Amino acid sequence: MSSYVKSGLCLALAALQISPDNSRHDVLVEAKVSQKVVQPLSPSNDNNNNKPSHDDENAAPRYSRTEVAEHCHYDSCWIVVNNKVYDVTRFLRQHPGGDDIILEYAGFDATSVFIDKGHSRDAYEMLAEYFIGEVTEKDWLPEMNCT
């Protein structure tokens, strides 16, 4: 698939808020259908309780899921895990599970798959190195437990 076509596809799926494996879609639809605001769960730090403050000028950059979806390429690969945005472009070639498996989720929410694969503590620590910001509050999804 050409990168031009893939870009378009990523953006279209992002507009519909659908992950490649559809795993996080139900959560969002359920939250919207029940007209409940998704709990404003803070993207907690892996050390926990480092809640972002809106007044904090040094707060991490915020990205909408549509912005994240633009980074769905080998040359620019962002993923979301628990409402945090990671630029894992530099890591693709180092990934023990191969680059393809991450690229499937490039531009998308990879929370379920990252956690379900049972990554080690080391993997979580590595992930933290690629943190670049947080998802904008309107696009937050309920967090999943990492343990």
Q: Which residues bind ligand HEM (CB under 6 A)?
A: 79, 88, 91, 95-97, 101-102, 105, 110, 113-114, 117, 119-120, 122-123, 126-127, 130
Q: Which of 62, 59, 73 is nearest to 140 (CA)?
A: 62
Helix (H) or strand (E) holding 17: none
* Contact between residue 79 and residue 135 where contact means Cβ atoms under 8 Å apart: no
The residue (of 19 and 42) whose beta carbon lies closer to ligand HEM is 19
Shortest distance, CB of residue 95 to ligand HEM, whole angstroms?
5
Q: Which is nearer to ligand HEM, 74 or 91 (CB)?
A: 91
Q: How far is the CB of 65 from ligand HEM (least distance, A)?
A: 15
The answer to whether residues 87 and 78 touch, using CB atoms and an 8 Å cutoff, is yes
Closer Cβ to ligand HEM, 40 or 118, answer by number: 118
Residue nearest ligand HEM, Cβ-based: 97
Cβ(134)–Cβ(43) below 8 Å: yes
Shortest distance, position 117 Cβ to ligand HEM, whole Å: 4
Give the C-alpha separation, 85 to 87, whole Å. 7
CB of 35 or CB of 47, closer to ligand HEM: 47
In sequence order, the 6+-apart residues with CB closer than 8 A to the CB of 47 are none
In whole angstroms, the minimum distance from the beta carbon of 72 to ligand HEM comes to 12
